[in-house]
Amino acid sequence: MLGLSLRLILCSAPFQMFTNSDEAVINKKLPKELLLRIFSFLDVVTLCRCAQVSRSWNVLALDGSNWQRIDLFDFQRDIEGRVVENISKRCGGFLRKLSLRGCLGVVTHEYFTQTGRTIEKLNLLSLNGCTKITDSTCNSLSKFCPKLKHLDLASCTSITNLSLKALSEGCPLLEQLNISWCDQVTKDGIQALVRSCPGLKGLFLKGCTQLEDEALKHIGAHCPELVTLNLQTCSQITDEGLITICRGCHRLQSLCVSGCANITDAILHALGQNCPRLRILEVARCSQLTDVGFTTLARNCHELEKMDLEECVQITDGTLIQLSIHCPRLQVLSLSHCELITDDGIRHLGSGPCAHDRLEVIELDNCPLITDASLEHLKSCHSLDRIELYDCQQITRAGIKRLRTHLPNIKVHAYFAPVTPPPSVGGSRQRFCRCCVLL
């Protein structure tokens, strides 16, 4: 239905649908300038519906100033390429933000060639999951979108280093680029990009498995404004490249290196010494990290708000003690599969400065030493919204119930295995197992 609305409005002569409401009271009482201002707050679907009310509303709804921000995600595959082209043309140069994520059949090299000047003022473009994107498409972008600042090409797996070289030549104002899962990109593409786009603040390189330390060295040397960096599952990177990032990007606030199994405590020391503004750190499955590294980090990065330490199997209560003392802004903490964590570590966390007003989420899945005592230590965390307790064998329903008396709105995610039935006494042996009987 959403796609049909767009086709009716933009690809046909819809005047036969209009009522005789041009003389309605609202049109007589309110000046068109005020009506136009009201229309500017409406989304794409509502604008299309308003455009079918009357001739005057059709003009107002389709005024280019109302189409500065367009997100067609709700239409997804249903939307046709010619509809998107007509939308771009109707914007008359007003278009600033365009999201075509998920529109698999729309975005091709021809689309950007045909829209041309109508998108030259675009500063945000999302093509996430548009699998027909190629190097030719990015070449067109570099020609027609010189003011582009935010570009999302995640999962556009056909693009190569040629795309990054084209963007570096035509889009020097780029501040945020997402090329996650574009696994053909190597250090050569990164080098071309960062040398020509010194204002980069966000780089999302998740799943770019060919990237090595050399690529990170280029980022560290040319991106002093970098705030966010995602290198999840870039399994070839090591301490050497990440230390260069820390030394060159002092404004770094968010770093994700989950799944980068080669990194050690050297990274945590480098972050502590060079990146005091760090707020988000995700190091899940980095099994070489220890209490020693997290102690240095906590003592220097006091603005930490979110930490994902899942499967950092060497950490103990020592890490929690340091976080409780030095990180008063901590809101989200994942300790799943950290099997050395005990009730004592949770006790320190629950009595720390972040506990009463800040801590919102704590994940403790598969922490076998955690008992109901930990829940008692957390009952004073008034901001706690969610706690994960899957496979915590020593947690009981009674303990959770007591926690809820203090925090009635908390979401508790836990799993209790069914009790194994006792062996039957006397009588004949059951022919089927208990599962089959239930079925």
In sequence order, the 6+-apart residues with CB closer than 8 A to the CB of 359 are 330, 331, 333, 349, 381, 383, 384
Output the six-digit token pair for 251. Answer: 């404004």
425: amino acid identity, one letter: V
Question: Are 42 and 34 within 8 A, CB to CB?
Answer: no
Given this model, what pLDDT does residue 373 score? 98
Which pTM was predicted? 0.86
Predicted confidence at residue 229, as pLDDT, reads: 98
The pLDDT of residue 70: 80
Q: According to the model, what pLDDT value does residue 269 have?
A: 98
Instruction: Please report the DSSP string for 385-403 in residue order.
Output: -EEE-TT-TB--HHHHHHH
What is the Cα gyration radius of the chain?
Answer: 28
For residue 158, what pLDDT is reported?
94
Handedness of CA 423, 424, 426, 431 (dihedral sign): negative
pLDDT in tens, the chain (439 residues): 445 555 544 444 444 444 555 566 677 777 888 888 888 888 877 888 888 888 888 888 888 788 888 887 766 555 666 666 677 776 767 889 988 887 766 566 666 666 656 778 899 999 998 888 899 989 988 998 999 999 999 999 999 999 999 999 999 999 999 999 999 999 999 999 999 999 999 999 999 999 999 999 999 999 999 999 999 999 999 999 999 999 999 999 999 999 999 999 999 999 999 999 999 999 999 999 999 999 999 999 999 999 999 999 999 999 999 999 999 999 999 999 999 999 999 999 999 998 888 999 999 999 999 999 999 999 999 999 999 999 999 999 999 999 999 999 999 999 876 655 656 555 444 544 444 333 3
User: Token pair of 220, please?
Assistant: 């560290």
pLDDT at 66: 83
Class of domain 274-416: alpha beta
For the chain, what are the domain ranges? 1-66, 274-416
Structure tokens at 310: 């899942």
pLDDT at 388: 97
- Give strand pairing partners of 152: 126, 178
For 248, what's the count of Cα atoms within 13 Å in the CB-facing half-sphere?
A: 20
Strand blocks (E) in 274-359: 280-282, 306-308, 332-334
CA atoms within 13 A on the CB side of 173: 11
